[in-house]
């Protein structure tokens, strides 16, 4: 009994001692927090009002986030671990190295029990690291200001274009505040990673290519003339190895892996051609060879650039979604994030680039009029009229005195067109009437926007056979407009597809207002992962890659 009593008293004594120590630790920690807050407040008075540190700690009420009295905070440990495990980061870059240095500094600081001023100094450095990492991970390396200045310069030189941005829905200062309140920083950082456009899968593709670089990448393919199926060439060996590295070539029973260009290797070449937007003919000509011999470093740079573009795209939450990728010259129609329709498109030429923007398809026009933009009237129509006053009539283009509904037709011969060649206004409306000659074809899909860009049919069907299809004045020409009309009719009960087909046989202009509108995004991606999980690359048709890489930030 006495022994049991002694044991009970011992346990109570230990519990009391633990309680006292815990209270003391908490008191010491509270004292540290208060003193650190005072130092932070006083130190940041000298910082510019708009500086990151001053704004961030003002929102935090000058409370330290990363440093505790005797150890790093859980948020700091999570930040260091997160950066360490980010395989997309350049391990030789400043950001990754700074993280390693600061983590080691913290370890040494707590081992030596440095004073509070040293800890606050490190607090600030970790906050700067956090800003750098969130800038890299969620806002990217493209200097959008510099890029927009470059394309504004193009506008001055008669090339009209624009790239409309959508700020990533990420607020690092808010995550920092949550972390200070004990919310897991790792969970917040994970949640902030973009989800649209298969961003995470493209990240994994980047990791794969970084690993390829670590093992030496790939050798150049050595071919001195066009290689066709069945031929023999010493260059076949380097071709096979090149495609093996990127997973395009997989050994098969039909191949003896000699210098003969066999069916197994032909299949691999076709797979590669499909991934790079080339004609899938298994012929290794100059175009295919050029793509094969782009280095692993070039491909990594392109992937990084496009990851950063994805961050600034419109992240749609709608059931349906139309995407037009300019370098791919392709339209994709999604429903519940799954591909339900795709078709070839024709986009603007480099001198008349299709803008990068977002809007909503609201209306479909059958047998549309083409109201010709002022820029085309002045640059193309008036010069033709000056040579031949009957030029517009031959193309079925009416000229009317103004834009009003009752504006009267005007005879081209009655106007002195030279006075409007370079004027600020043209007081005439040029409209091509519905019919086979109409530049908009038989169907137009309207999504009202300041660029006057829309999707439409075209009489120039032969151009869809080409791989590179940058031929329009900026609008998007569709290979299968009637099939797209059919798709819209499946979820708009006010659109009767069969009735629409009868209207299209004539020339009557008809408007179909959509009950279920569909968002459309015109994007510019030269690298992405498709719906089947294949990494795709395309050529830089507008030279936007080139422009953005001139001021691409390195981490």
DSSP characters for 345-377?
EEEE-TTSPPPB-EEEEEEEEES--EE--HHHI
Do the beta carbons of residue 360 and residue 513 sit within 8 Å?
A: no
Do the beta carbons of residue 378 and residue 422 sit within 8 Å?
A: yes
Are 186 and 76 part of one and the same domain?
A: yes
Range of the domain at 248: 235-294
518 SS3 class: strand
Give the burial class of 447: count Cβ atoms within 10 A of its Cβ; 0-12 exposed, 13-18 middle, 19 or more buried.
buried
Domain boundary among 135, 166, 192: 192
Helix (H) or strand (E) holding 456: strand 455-456
* 423 assigned to some structural domain: yes
CA 186 to chain centre: 24
How far, in Å, CA of 316 to CA of 138, rounded?
A: 17
Are 67 and 141 part of one and the same domain?
A: yes
CATH number at residue 278: 1.10.101
Give the burial class of 378: count Cβ atoms within 10 A of its Cβ; 0-12 exposed, 13-18 middle, 19 or more buried.
middle
* 71 assigned to some structural domain: yes
Give the burial class of 508: count Cβ atoms within 10 A of its Cβ; 0-12 exposed, 13-18 middle, 19 or more buried.
exposed
* 477 assigned to some structural domain: yes
pLDDT of residue 154: 77
Do the beta carbons of residue 223 and residue 284 sit within 8 Å?
A: yes
How far, in Å, CA of 235 to CA of 222, rounded?
A: 5
Strand partners, 290: none
Are 486 and 338 part of one and the same domain?
A: yes
Vertex 285: Cα angle to 283 and 287 (nearest 5):
115
Phi then psi dihedrals of residue 551, to 5 deg: -130, 35
* 229 assigned to some structural domain: no
Domain boundary among 414, 431, 448: 431
The residue whose two tokens read 């800003």 is 131
Are 246 and 275 part of one and the same domain?
A: yes
Tens of pLDDT, residue by residue, the chain (555 residues): 544 444 444 434 434 333 433 444 466 788 989 999 999 999 999 889 889 999 999 999 999 999 999 999 999 999 999 999 999 999 999 999 999 999 999 999 999 877 899 999 999 999 999 999 999 999 999 999 999 999 888 766 666 788 999 999 999 999 999 999 999 999 999 999 999 999 999 999 999 999 999 999 999 999 999 999 999 999 999 999 999 999 999 988 888 889 999 999 999 999 999 999 999 999 999 999 999 999 999 999 999 999 999 999 998 889 999 999 999 999 999 999 999 999 999 999 998 999 999 999 999 999 999 888 888 898 889 999 999 988 898 888 989 988 887 889 989 999 999 999 888 889 999 999 898 889 999 999 999 999 989 999 999 999 999 999 999 989 999 999 999 999 999 999 999 999 999 999 999 999 999 999 999 999 999 999 999 999 999 999 999 999 999 999 998
The CA-to-CA distance between both ends of the chain, in Å, stands at 70
Are 183 and 85 part of one and the same domain?
A: yes
How far, in Å, CA of 33 to CA of 467, rounded?
A: 64
Closest CA to 133 of 170, 177, 169: 170
* 328 assigned to some structural domain: yes
Are 420 and 283 part of one and the same domain?
A: no
pLDDT of residue 254: 80
* 534 assigned to some structural domain: no
pLDDT of residue 158: 62
Closest CA to 64 of 109, 8, 7, 119: 119
User: C-alpha distances in angstroms, 413 versus 404, 417, 421, 443?
Assistant: 22, 9, 16, 32
Closest CA to 165 of 150, 143, 134: 143
pLDDT of residue 223: 94
How far, in Å, CA of 313 to CA of 380, rounded?
A: 34
Closest CA to 400 of 371, 439, 442: 371
Long-range contacts of 170-178 (CB under 8 A, 24+ apart): 170/134, 170/138, 170/139, 172/130, 172/131, 172/134, 172/138, 173/55, 173/56, 173/59, 175/134, 176/56, 176/59, 176/60, 176/65, 176/127, 176/130, 177/59, 177/60
Are 168 and 59 part of one and the same domain?
A: yes
Do the beta carbons of residue 485 and residue 500 sit within 8 Å?
A: yes
* 213 assigned to some structural domain: no
How far, in Å, CA of 321 to CA of 517, rounded?
A: 10
400 SS3 class: strand
* 228 assigned to some structural domain: no
CA 280 to chain centre: 26
How far, in Å, CA of 539 to CA of 555, rounded?
A: 25
Are 458 and 397 part of one and the same domain?
A: no
Are 359 and 454 part of one and the same domain?
A: yes
CATH number at residue 326: 2.40.440.10
Are 424 and 344 part of one and the same domain?
A: no
How far, in Å, CA of 341 to CA of 330, rounded?
A: 11
Domain count for the chain: 4
How far, in Å, CA of 322 to CA of 288, rounded?
A: 30
Alpha-carbon torsion (120, 122, 123, 127), positive or negative:
positive
Q: What is the CA radius of gyration of the chain?
A: 32
Are 364 and 493 part of one and the same domain?
A: yes
Q: Give DSSP secondary structure letters for 113-144.
A: T--HHHHHHHHHHHHHHHHHHHIIIII-S--H
251 SS3 class: coil
Domain boundary among 166, 192, 218: 192
How far, in Å, CA of 214 to CA of 89, rounded?
A: 14
How far, in Å, CA of 337 to CA of 141, rounded?
A: 27
Are 264 and 242 part of one and the same domain?
A: yes
């Amino acid at each position: 009994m006495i022994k049991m009593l002694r044991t009970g008293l011992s346990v109570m004594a230990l519990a009391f001692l633990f309680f006292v120590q815990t209270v003391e630790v908490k008191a010491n920690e509270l004292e540290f927090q208060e003193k650190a807050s005072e130092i932070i407040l006083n130190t940041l008075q000298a910082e510019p009002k708009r500086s990151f540190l001053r704004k961030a700690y003002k929102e935090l009420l000058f409370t330290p986030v990363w440093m505790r009295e005797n150890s790093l905070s859980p948020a700091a440990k999570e930040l260091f671990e997160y950066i360490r495990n980010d395989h997309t980061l350049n391990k030789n870059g400043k950001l990754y190295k700074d993280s390693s240095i600061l983590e080691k500094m913290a370890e040494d600081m707590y081992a030596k029990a440095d004073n509070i001023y040293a800890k606050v100094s490190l607090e600030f450095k970790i906050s700067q690291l956090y800003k750098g990492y969130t800038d890299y991970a969620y806002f990217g390396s493209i200097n959008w200001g510099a890029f927009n200045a470059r394309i504004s310069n193009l506008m001055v030189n008669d090339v009209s274009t624009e790239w409309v941005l959508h700020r990533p829905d990420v607020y690092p200062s808010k995550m920092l505040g949550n972390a200070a309140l004990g919310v897991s920083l790792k969970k917040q950082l994970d949640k902030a990673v973009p989800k649209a456009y298969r961003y995470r899968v493209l990240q994994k593709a980047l990791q794969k290519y970084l690993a390829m670089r670590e093992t030496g990448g790939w050798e150049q393919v050595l071919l001195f003339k066009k290689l066709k199926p069945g031929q023999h060439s010493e260059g076949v060996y380097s071709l096979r190895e090149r495609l093996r590295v990127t997973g395009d070539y997989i050994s098969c029973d039909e191949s003896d892996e000699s210098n003969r260009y066999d069916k197994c290797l032909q299949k691999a070449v076709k797979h590669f051609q499909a991934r790079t937007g080339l004609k899938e003919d298994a012929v290794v000509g100059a175009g295919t060879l050029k793509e094969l011999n782009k280095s692993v470093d070039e491909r990594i740079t392109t992937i990084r650039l496009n990851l950063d573009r994805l961050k600034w795209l419109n992240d749609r939450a709608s059931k349906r979604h139309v995407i037009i990728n300019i370098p791919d010259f392709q339209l994709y129609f999604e429903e519940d994030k799954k591909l339900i329709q795709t078709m070839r498109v024709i986009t603007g030429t480099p001198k008349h680039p299709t803008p990068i923007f977002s809007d909503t398809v609201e209306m479909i026009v059958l047998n549309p009029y083409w109201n010709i933009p002022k820029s085309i009237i002045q640059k193309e129509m008036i010069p033709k009229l000056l040579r031949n006053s009957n030029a517009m009539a031959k193309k079925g283009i009416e000229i009317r005195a103004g834009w009003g509904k009752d504006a009267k037709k005007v005879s081209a011969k009655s106007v002195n067109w030279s006075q409007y060649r370079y004027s600020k206004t043209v007081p005439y409306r040029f409209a091509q009437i519905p019919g086979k000659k109409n530049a908009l074809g038989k169907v137009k899909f309207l999504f009202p926007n300041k660029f006057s860009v829309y999707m439409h049919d075209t009489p120039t069907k032969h151009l869809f056979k080409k791989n590179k299809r940058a031929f329009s004045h900026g609008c998007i020409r569709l290979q299968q407009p009637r099939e797209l009309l059919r798709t819209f009719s499946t979820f708009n009960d006010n659109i009767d597809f069969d009735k629409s087909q009868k209207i299209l046989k004539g020339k009557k202009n008809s408007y179909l207002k959509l009950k279920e509108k569909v968002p459309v995004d015109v994007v510019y991606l030269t690298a992405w992962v498709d719906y089947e999980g294949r990494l795709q690359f395309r050529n830089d048709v507008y030279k936007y890659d080139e422009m953005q890489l001139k001021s691409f930030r390195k981490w």
